Amino acid sequence: MAEAGVFRVKAGSKEIEINEEVLSILQRYVRTSMTLEELAQKLGLDGWEEAYEFVKNVPAWILWIQPTLWKTMKTMKAVREEIG
């Protein structure tokens, strides 16, 4: 069963949880000239192919949310799920 307020994205055989740190790395990738190799290294993936698959699977709207807003949304979702 998935944890409350957790969003995960598949990359090959791995699932990466989208959290504030991962979101910051993704935003740096989108806004700079970071390569897929660098992205793979920062996310602990096995190479640029997995990084490419990960980026392909991330919904576009996630890339433009500020990490602090993501944390707030995640907390609100967890509370809503606890309430019922």
The C-alpha atoms of residue 5 and residue 65 are separated, in whole angstroms, by: 15
Is residue 60 over pLDDT 80? yes
* CA 61 – CA 23 distance, rounded (Å): 11
Residue 74, pLDDT above cutoff 80: no
pLDDT average, residue stretch 6-15: 89
> With pLDDT > 70 as the criterion, what percentage of the chain qualifies?
93
3-state secondary structure at position 77? helix
Read off the pLDDT band of 70 (50, 70, 90). Answer: confident
Q: In the chain, where are the structural domains located?
A: 8-83
Average pLDDT, the chain: 87
Q: Could you say which DSSP state residue 1 is in? A: -
47 pLDDT above the threshold of 90? yes
